Structure formats: structure tokens, C-alpha cells
Structure 1
Amino acid sequence: MAEGTRERLLEVGLMQMRSVGYGAAGMKELLDEAGIPKGSFYHYFPSKEAFGKAVLESYGAGEMARWQRIVLEGKGAPLKRLRRYFEDLIATYGPQNKISGCLMGGMSLEIADHSDTIQAALKHAFAGWRQGLASLLEEAMERGDLARSAKPDELAGLLLDAYEGALLRAKAERSNAPLENFLKLAFGTLLVKP
């Protein structure tokens, strides 16, 4: 039961932080939605900051499962799997959804400057994401799908930055156009063998 309570708090916290942000996520609303007494929250999380870090880590675990399913267990050439991965992210987090945007991007904008704990968790999550992208790009380079002169780690950083920026613009404009442009340029120009 104890693990179920913690998981329920994280589940509701993730929904709340994705919909209204970290700062506006209220304790009373969280506890009411989760059906959990206030004392139980502090049994699992000493502060809202610790809770925010745990929500971010839970979100990251879900995103790792997506990566595992689409990229690591998926079939096809590395760049085809990478494109399917980004298409799945866009279908999940694009502006056509009730709640759009990436929790990591949102928390970076909202709280990273004010919390060393959250900033460190974000830095770790983005580094892991970049490393996964770089490994896949290295695989593509070894297969001859990218030029031998390609720099997988730099390309991974650029893809990550471009995706997060396109997602932010898509949210601001309530349009998939920035995300479609990201896909077009990433896979039609940037990640092609010369």
C-alpha cells in the first residue's frame, strides 16, 4: 500500500505539473485528487522541491520506456527509428493534445534558475537523453547512413535543442508547424549522408 500511495502522488503530481506548472501545482488540489491525507505526503516527500524532483524522475523513467520501446527494441535503420521516436514524441506532446509540452522543458523555464535540486535533476535527465541520441547517431554513422566526419554528440545536442525549441514554439503558436519543420530539416537536411 505504501508504494501505491507514493506512486499515486507522483501520478497526480505529474498531471498537475504538466497542466499548470510547478509553481501553480497546489498541495490541497494534489491531495484531494490523490485522495491522500496531508500527513502522508510528508511521509514520502520532505518538501515540494523533493516532490518536484521525484515527479521529474518519474517522468524520465516513462520517457526511457518510450526510448526502449521505439529505438532499442524497434526494427529498421537507426535514423528510421529515430524519426519514429520524434514522431511519437510530437504525437504525445504536440499542441494538438489537451496538455502539450515537455515537463523537462517546462520545468527548465520555470524553476531551474531557482532550485539547485531541480536544476541538477534536469541537467542529469538532459545529459542522459543526449547520450542516447548520440549512441544512436553513432550507430547510423557506423552503418554509413551519416558521413564519417559527423560528430554524434554535437548532432545529438543540436537535435535535442531544436526539438525542445520547436516544441516550445508549437505550444506558443498552438500549431504543429514548428515541429513539422523540425522533422523536415532534421531528417531531410541535417541527418543525410552528403
Structure 2
Amino acid sequence: MSTTPSTRDHLLAVGLERLRSTGYTATGVKEVLDLAKVPKGSFYHYFPSKEEFAVEVFHLYAKGEAERTARVLGARKVAPLKRLRLYFEELISVYGQGGEISGCLMGSLSLEVADHSPRMRSELQGVFAVWQKGIADVLREAIQRGDLAKSMQPDALAAFLLNSYEGSLIRMKAEKSDRPLENFLHFAFDVLLKK
């Protein structure tokens, strides 16, 4: 049985690397084809447009992040707030300055194309909602265990944490420093979520 990825999967993998490193606008179809060593006709056989290609690349990215979320946040043998901190620490190690490619594709696409592409905006909204729910579920568990006050509002708090993390990533890129991410971790876990 062959383990060689299909042409479509290969194009998506190359597209993910390019979208993450150069962004949507700077990534051209020809560039992806050249890097993938795939003829132009193959691209349009699988994807009717660059936007549809970007949506499929985004689905690939979101699938990987959903697997990370399930693995880290779903490890119920670990206390909920500890899992949540470990989760953000892992995200920072992958998407911070020390990562192979710094920054989050969700944040980058939100800034670059969400205003101009209703389709991409809808995709982003859906994934942000799922991501926020995963964080809120862990916060609910922490409240039930007595690790957080019952007055905490897990959905609003999850939105705040997610927005703070994404904002820290943007600031990290502007400053070329992990300091904004370290600041996020400190205030989120040593101040806000501290019992």
C-alpha cells in the first residue's frame, strides 16, 4: 500500500506552509504549483479558485488544531487549569518566536481576508466558536471542582482568553519577541485564574 500523499493532499500541505509563512495575498497559485512540482491543470482539477484552495488549507489547519485541543485539553487525569496552561504553553512553543513559523493562521487570515471574503469569514467564525467552546468546557470543569469561583462566566472568560492570546500573537509579531505571550500567560494564569 502506497504512503505517498495524493496530489491534492500534497498541494494542501504545500499551501499550508506557504499561507502560514507568507499569508494569503502573497501566496500565488503558481508559487504553490512550482513548490509542489504539480502542473497547473492539477490545481484546478481539485480547487476551482484560490479562495476555495485557501478554505481547504484552512480546514487542514483547523483539523490539526482540533487534534491538539483534544489531546491536551482532553487529558482528564490532569487538573483542568493545569491542562489549560499546558495547552497555551504548547501553542506558544509552536506559534511563538521559537516556532518553525511564528503566528497563528487563524489570526493572520482574520486580519488579511475576513473583511473581503464572506466564505472565509464564516469558516473562521465557526472554528473560533469551536475553539472557544473547548476552552469554556475546561473552565466549567474547573468551576465544578472548586478551582474557580462559581461567579466566573466560562463562556465570556473563554472568549477573553482566546482574544488575549490572539492579540498577544499579533503583538509578538510586531515586536519580534515572545514577551507579549509571556505576559499573557502570567496575567491569565497567575492573576486572573488564580484561586
Normalised by the length of structure 2, the TM-score is 0.95
User: Residue 8 in 1 paired to residue 1 in 2?
Assistant: no
Q: Indicate conservation of the 8 Å contact 1:138/1:152, yes or no.
A: yes
Q: Indicate conservation of the 8 Å contact 1:141/1:148, yes or no.
A: yes
Q: Which residue of 2 aligns with 1:63?
A: 65
Q: Hey, what's the Cα distance between the residues in 1 that align with 2:154 and 2:194?
A: 13
Q: Hey, what's the Cα distance between the residues in 1 that align with 2:174 and 2:77?
A: 34
User: Residue 95 in 1 paired to residue 84 in 2?
Assistant: no
Provide, for residues 160-181 of structure 1, a one-character-per-residue CA deviation record: whole Å limited to 9, x for no partner.
0000000110111011110001
Q: Hey, what's the Cα distance between the residues in 2 that align with 1:174 and 1:168?
A: 10
Q: Hey, what's the Cα distance between the residues in 1 that align with 2:147 and 2:8?
A: 45
User: Residue 110 in 1 paired to residue 117 in 2?
Assistant: no
Q: Indicate conservation of the 8 Å contact 1:75/1:81, yes or no.
A: no
Q: Which residue of 2 aligns with 1:83?
A: 85
Q: Hey, what's the Cα distance between the residues in 2 that align with 1:74 and 1:173?
A: 36
Task: Report how far residue 43 of structure 1 moved.
Answer: 1.2
Deviates more, 1:109-118 or 1:74-83: 74-83
Q: Indicate conservation of the 8 Å contact 2:94/2:100, yes or no.
A: no
User: Residue 40 in 1 paired to residue 42 in 2?
Assistant: yes
Q: Indicate conservation of the 8 Å contact 2:97/2:177, yes or no.
A: yes
Q: Hey, what's the Cα distance between the residues in 2 that align with 1:3 and 1:115?
A: 29
Q: Hey, what's the Cα distance between the residues in 1 that align with 2:76 and 2:39?
A: 42
Aligned pair partner of 1:169 in 168, 171, 175 = 171
Q: Hey, what's the Cα distance between the residues in 2 that align with 1:59 and 1:84?
A: 20
Provide, for residues 3-31 of structure 1, a one-character-per-residue CA deviation record: whole Å limited to 9, x for no partner.
71111111100100011100010111101
Task: Report how far residue 96 of structure 1 moved.
Answer: 2.4
Task: Report how far residue 75 of structure 1 moved.
Answer: 3.4
Q: Hey, what's the Cα distance between the residues in 1 that align with 2:132 and 2:71?
A: 17
Q: Hey, what's the Cα distance between the residues in 1 that align with 2:9 and 2:77?
A: 32
Provide, for residues 22-72 of structure 1, a one-character-per-residue CA deviation record: whole Å limited to 9, x for no partner.
001011110111121111111111111111111111100000111111111
* Equivalent pairs, count: 193
Gaps of 5+ in 2: none
Q: Hey, what's the Cα distance between the residues in 2 that align with 1:4 and 1:143?
A: 47
Q: Hey, what's the Cα distance between the residues in 2 that align with 1:105 and 1:74?
A: 28
Identity score, percent: 56
Task: Report how far residue 97 of structure 1 moved.
Answer: 2.8
Q: Which residue of 1 aligns with 2:142?
A: 140
Provide, for residues 120-147 of structure 1, a one-character-per-residue CA deviation record: whole Å limited to 9, x for no partner.
0001010110011111110111010000
After TM superposition, the runs of 4+ consecutive aligned structure 1 residues lying more than 6 A away are none
Partner of 1:95: helix, strand, or coil?
coil
Q: Which residue of 2 aligns with 1:154?
A: 156
Q: Hey, what's the Cα distance between the residues in 2 that align with 1:44 and 1:86?
A: 35
Partner of 1:147: helix, strand, or coil?
coil
